Structure 1
Amino acid sequence: MSENIPIKNVTPGDAQAAELYAKREKIHPRSYTGLFRNIRLLGVAFLFLLYFGTAWLQWGERQAVLFDLPARQFHVFGSTFQPQDFFLLSFILIICAFGLFFITVFAGRVWCGYTCPQTVWTWIFMWAERVTEGERHARIKLDKAPMSANKLARRSVKHGIWLTVSIVTALTFVGYFTPIRELVPDTFTLNIGGWSLFWVFFFTMATYINAGWLREQVCFYMCPYGRFQSVMFDKDTLIIAYDPRRGEARGSRKKGVDPAAAGLGDCIDCTLCVQVCPTGIDIRDGLQYECIGCAACVDACDEVMDKMEYPRGLISYTTEHNLSGEKTTMLRPRLLGYGALLAVMIGLFAVTVSGLAKVSLDVSRDRNVLFREVSGGDIENIYIVRIFNKSQVPRSFVLSVEGHPQLRMDLRQDSLSLQANEHLQLPVNVRLDPQYMDGTNTSITFRVIATEDSDITAEAESRFMGPRIR
């Protein structure tokens, strides 16, 4: 006879069902100084200059970087791309993916901590919060205080700065799709178009809500990167970690006290590492997916170690192998594999871009007339030929048709001179004596060649249609 396994109920009598969603506790990061903060400031300054400055650069008579959707032209400095060049976007996305994989395997979430737009704009919004509402303790006190004229004024200025930054951010983003030198004055004179106004409003609200209100919630619940980072980490990945062998046991003490003599570790339990964290975690609890790798806790802890005259590095960039006293291997198969694939993709992209044609040719048949017989008994087909000068200089082109020696082509436009990035669309009549036709249709090829450089050429295939001859 089998015995039942005894079951003991350990659920507290007053236990309630766990909530699926915990209420957000507002985080008030404390200001700090340090090496990694300075690196981040330099990086943010560069990214802001790149983002806000590039939109205003000119390249000849046009904006240097402009994604002109109505014209279906995408200008990037000296290059102009068309929708058929969108396969290059696949290259760019693959390069970005492998770049992110490589960086993550090597140095963890440095992208999140230093260059992610959500992080960068959140830091800007927290700066506005600090200059209008004060330091951490003052902000906490202000949150708990009842509404007053002082509180209303401070909050109004803060939100005014947030909205200003959001509007400038949105205008710049839309300025990459609509010429920004026209967009900005049109916005302030209320002459802005409906779609431009919609997208400016949309990205203003997106920036304002994400960086001002959601903040770390975007990293916790909306961004998938924090969730799958553990799959990409290994024990040789650089992470921000607390050294428990050196820090434990924690405890406060006066400066100059030997921690070993007091039976303590180097951690004085000041909690500054928690107070400066933009996601509100305690790094001493170990590696957590909420950690964005910003190194704020490293700077704060190093400052405390300096004051206590202890060695720096209680919290530092390190690896799991280092923490356990083992040797870290930097060149490992996974890292080398991602690096090799990244190099290959960058090389393929460079070769593809350098080999892009400087002229494109598109040919379509006139849908109104399949074919027609003209005087003399010839069969005539009409085609719509589109030529696009993709180079940055004016060029003249010669158009020809191949497929049979007796093909004759009539152009309704003698000049095939195109300015830089100019389209030309023209009808072309092609004639052929039906006795030279093999069946009801014959394969033909249109070719366009630049008169100044015969290497600049493009071709397009089509069909020449005719009646069935018995």
Structure 2
Amino acid sequence: MATPSDKRIAVQALDAEPAPLYAARRKVQPRTAAGRFRRVRQCVGAVLLALFFGLPWLQVEGRQAVWWDLPQRQFHIFSTTFWPQDFILLAGLLIIAAFGLFFATVYAGRLWCGYACPQSVWTWLFLWCEKITEGERRQRLRLDAARWSAGKALRRAAKHGLWLALALATGLAFVAYFSPARALLSGFFTGQAAGWAYFWVALITAGTYLNAGWLREQVCVHMCPYARFQSVMLDRDSLIVAYDAGRGEARGPRRPGSDAQAQGLGDCIDCTLCVQVCPTGIDIRDGLQVACIGCAACVDACDEVMGKMNYPKGLVSYTSERALAGERRSTLRPRLLGYGAVLALMLLALGTALAYRAPVALDVAKDRLLYRENAEGRLENVYRLTVMNKTASAHTYQLNASGLPGLQLHGNTQLNVPARSQLNVVVALSVAPKQWPGSAATVTFHLLDGNTQVAADSRFTGPTP
């Protein structure tokens, strides 16, 4: 019979010097790995960079195709112009983007991080600059360990020069979405640009240089919130970059063609190339980690080694926990279907809202003066109207009002509004004292142009009994 002393938890002596809670950063010098996933990253990155740097230079109908015109409070996307009243559509677009990210995460983990995240795309670009100025991984490591010399200083200066040039181009391209690109570029280097333009270009340049050149994987591991909540969204059927320990263990070096089973070894030859190519410096053989961005560089490196060893590829691959356990992976599962259904419904709702978006908008603001008596002895209220023409052509709108018996509209009733512009007018409504109901009433302004009609309500005030 067990005594109480037998059930006590074993006590283990602690180390005299516990491991430090904080450790100095170990600089990651990733090696270049050729393969199909690298080609996919390059193609995706090239498309995204071309869009980012190229869109501000496209012209549509005599203006910049994509342009946040903050002074005029307009957002131009090709032939469509959005106004502040349309920003609910922008909110919907952001929500759709979030659900799209959730859907992609449930299906294939950090697919966004590995292939399309700006931090990853610019980091790969900065690593390419580092490679052409300082060499491949071994050369960079030797250069880091070498003493300072003219050659080392020249290589470092060339690298940082390229980094700064790319960062400056990024800053200019970003600001070009808020200021006409041609005017910005011609005025920036001649001192003619606005002060805020220099401020934001400098800020984006510094942020790009710091994040893509110096922080790199630290942004992905410690600063990006996506790295933290991705584990909540993954399930056993989500595609992840993983190492097949059942096939790879035990690790050990061997010659090509040797009998690994006779030596008690698995397929992993412990070459550590999967670690050397990782942009965050992790060992994928330790299992799924928060620092893994799913770029599949380790897959390319391992497949190349497996090919040289005449082993089957896929020791490191896109797979799932269920597949690694020898079970059948389920693709259509409730969580993925739920995100997909919500995403489809939201896309349908956004498309419908865009298709039926009113081409004209009317805002009414009542003057602060409650009421007054005009020269005809009628009770009069003053209103400030803003008419927004969202179409690509000029329109003439007919203005009238309703809501009270004998209501009269004073002011311009034929409103000519240029394309993609707004017109501010002041009008007045009046009613005879004998027709005044004695309490505030709702009046409606109507704006008509052919088959287009919009209305906006306001209040009409007068004396109380």
**Does TM-score exceed 0.5, indicating one fold?**
yes
Give distance in 1, aligned partners of 2:4 and 2:245: 47
Unmatched runs of 5 consecutive residues or more in structure 1: none
Give distance in 2, aligned partners of 1:366 and 1:400: 18
Q: How does 1:53-92 map to 2 (within 5 A)?
A: 53-92=54-93
DSSP 3-state at the match of 1:21: coil
Q: Deviations over 1:357-390 (max 9, x none)?
A: 11111111222x4322223321222211111101
Deviation of 1:261 after TM superposition, in Å, equals 2.9
Q: Which residue of 2 aligns with 1:131?
A: 132
Q: Deviations over 1:15-36 (max 9, x none)?
A: 14x4332211101111121000
Matched, 1:11 2:14: yes
Give distance in 2, aligned partners of 1:376 and 1:71: 39
Give distance in 2, aligned partners of 1:142 and 1:318: 38
**TM, length-normalised to structure 1:** 0.95
**For the Cα contact (< 8 Å) 2:399–2:413, is it kept in 1?**
no
Matched, 1:462 2:458: yes
Q: Which residue of 2 aligns with 1:312?
A: 313
**For the Cα contact (< 8 Å) 2:248–2:266, is it kept in 1?**
yes
Q: Which residue of 2 aligns with 1:156?
A: 157
* Stretch moving more, 123-132 or 253-262: 253-262
Q: Which residue of 2 aligns with 1:433?
A: 432
**TM, length-normalised to structure 2:** 0.96
Q: Which residue of 2 aligns with 1:35?
A: 36
Q: Which residue of 2 aligns with 1:232?
A: 233
Q: Which residue of 1 aligns with 2:255?
A: 254
DSSP 3-state at the match of 1:181: helix
Deviation of 1:407 after TM superposition, in Å, equals 1.3
Deviation of 1:83 after TM superposition, in Å, equals 1.6
Matched, 1:205 2:201: no
**For the Cα contact (< 8 Å) 2:31–2:277, is it kept in 1?**
yes
Q: Which residue of 2 aligns with 1:374?
A: 374
DSSP 3-state at the match of 2:57: coil
* Stretch moving more, 134-143 or 245-254: 245-254
Q: What letter matches 1:106 in structure 2? A: Y
Q: Which residue of 1 aligns with 2:393?
A: 393
Deviation of 1:468 after TM superposition, in Å, equals 3.3
Give distance in 2, aligned partners of 1:150 and 1:318: 45
Q: Compared with structure 1, are the counterparts of its residues 77 and 287 closer, same or farther at alpha carbon in structure 2 (3 Å cutoff)?
A: same
Q: What letter matches 1:399 in structure 2? A: L
Give distance in 1, aligned partners of 2:290 and 2:88: 34
Give distance in 2, aligned partners of 1:122 and 1:40: 12
Deviation of 1:136 after TM superposition, in Å, equals 0.5
Q: How does 1:193-342 map to 2 (within 5 A)?
A: 193-342=194-343
Q: Which residue of 2 aligns with 1:95?
A: 96
* Stretch moving more, 202-211 or 60-69: 60-69
Give distance in 2, aligned partners of 1:191 and 1:421: 28
Give distance in 1, aligned partners of 2:96 and 2:130: 37
Matched, 1:416 2:415: yes
Unmatched runs of 5 consecutive residues or more in structure 2: none
Give distance in 1, aligned partners of 2:312 and 2:24: 39
Q: Which residue of 2 aligns with 1:25?
A: 26
**For the Cα contact (< 8 Å) 2:398–2:414, is it kept in 1?**
no
How many residue pairs get matched? 462
Give distance in 2, aligned partners of 1:396 and 1:6: 86
**For the Cα contact (< 8 Å) 2:386–2:424, is it kept in 1?**
yes
Q: Which residue of 2 aligns with 1:446?
A: 445
Matched, 1:383 2:383: yes
Give distance in 2, aligned partners of 1:78 and 1:405: 43
* Stretch moving more, 260-269 or 134-143: 260-269
Give distance in 2, aligned partners of 1:47 and 1:281: 27
Q: What letter matches 1:257 in structure 2? A: S
**For the Cα contact (< 8 Å) 2:398–2:413, is it kept in 1?**
no
**For the Cα contact (< 8 Å) 2:322–2:328, is it kept in 1?**
yes
Q: What letter matches 2:319 in structure 1? A: T
Deviation of 1:5 after TM superposition, in Å, equals 5.0
Give distance in 1, aligned partners of 2:235 and 2:10: 40
Give distance in 1, aligned partners of 2:286 and 2:109: 18
Matched, 1:406 2:406: yes
Deviation of 1:405 after TM superposition, in Å, equals 4.2
Q: Which residue of 2 aligns with 1:347?
A: 348
Give distance in 1, aligned partners of 2:209 and 2:231: 30
Q: What letter matches 1:460 in structure 2? A: A
DSSP 3-state at the match of 2:97: helix
DSSP 3-state at the match of 1:55: helix
Deviation of 1:414 after TM superposition, in Å, equals 6.1
DSSP 3-state at the match of 1:416: strand
Give distance in 2, aligned partners of 1:124 and 1:358: 43
Give distance in 1, aligned partners of 2:15 and 2:464: 91
Q: Deviations over 1:86-124 (max 9, x none)?
A: 222321222112111111111111111000111110000
Q: Which residue of 2 aligns with 1:180?
A: 181
Give distance in 1, aligned partners of 2:287 and 2:64: 49
